[in-house]
Amino acid sequence: MAIIKKTPEQIECMAAAGEVLVRTLDLLASKIRPGVSTLELDQAAERFIRSQGCTPAFKGYRGFPGSICASPNSMVVHGIPGDYRLERGDILSVDVGVVKDGWVADAARTFPVGPVSPVAERLLTVTEESLYLAVDQCVPGKHLGDIGHAIQRHVEKEHGFSVVRTLVGHGVGRQMHEDPQVPNYGKAGSGALLEAGMVLAVEPMVTVGHYDVRMGDDNWSIFSDDGTLAAHFEFTIAITELGPRVLTPWHQAKGGTRVAA
């Protein structure tokens, strides 16, 4: 396993990609409502990303047809945008990748479509909180396992939901997927030592029921196997001497405060 560390200048390049990504998510947040199709969201995202001189990282990645992944309800991740029209009460994971000047940023949020059920509301809150707890672990001297441990403890021990085991976060840089893998579960103090210059895409994927998942007929979409709701939140995070730096700070953007809805 070779983890490619980034210089401060390279981290700035990734932050620039992240800024476009945050604006893309913000644009999508303003469009998400009952009746909108996931293809319409995809087209809006692609138009905006290209208008900024960037490219959508997912488009064509291993043949993926969309510019975003749009995964409603029991779909965990990797949903192909299409005819599906959002309904009031849905939750929708939107995952976006942006390439700017050869550097990739990767982030996701799960949005409520209008008012959602109490369990959906709690799932979104807990999963988002687990990402913030993970950010706190992204400091030099901690270990990879500390990230997964923080997520798993919050999600499973404290709230009784499940962390998906077979899908993990990843290093990110010039490539969308670099070493190391970043599981959302694990043992505190285990795994690779975190060092300044590492950039990680940390992305808790959480289900209400069991953590088993299955692939859909399109060979892309991943669903909770038991059909329960799933949520997914992701940041690209740089580990720096000064502590964690979120390069895709959608939580600070206009419309980034989901809780206010």
Q: Which is nearer to Mg ion, 57 or 116 (CB)?
A: 57
> Among 104-112, 157-165, 187-195, 248-256, which window interacts with Mg ion (CB under 5 A)?
104-112
The residue with its CB nearest to Mg ion is 201
With left for phi above 0 and alpha for psi between -120 and 50, is residue 186 left, alpha or beta?
left
Q: Which is nearer to Mg ion, 74 or 236 (CB)?
A: 236
Query: What is the full DSSP assignment across 147-164?
Result: HHHHHHIIIIITT--EE-
Number of residues near Mg ion (by CB under 5 A): 2
CA distances from 72 to 92, 130, 171, 228, 244 (A): 4, 20, 26, 11, 30
Near Mg ion by CB under 5 A: residue from 42, 46, 90, 106? 106
Q: Which two tokens stand for residue 32?
A: 């998400």
Q: Which is nearer to Mg ion, 176 or 188 (CB)?
A: 176
- The single-letter code of the amino acid at 150 is A
Per-position x/- string for 49-88, each x denoting binding to Mg ion as judged by CB under 5 A, each - no binding: ----------------------------------------
As measured in angstroms, the least distance from the Cβ of 199 to Mg ion is 12
* Nearest in space to 185 (alpha carbons), one of 157, 149, 213: 149
Number of H helices, E strands in the chain: 4, 15
Query: Does 201 participate in binding Mg ion (rule CB under 5 A)?
Result: yes
Q: In the complex, which residues of this chain contact Mg ion (CB under 5 A)?
A: 106, 201
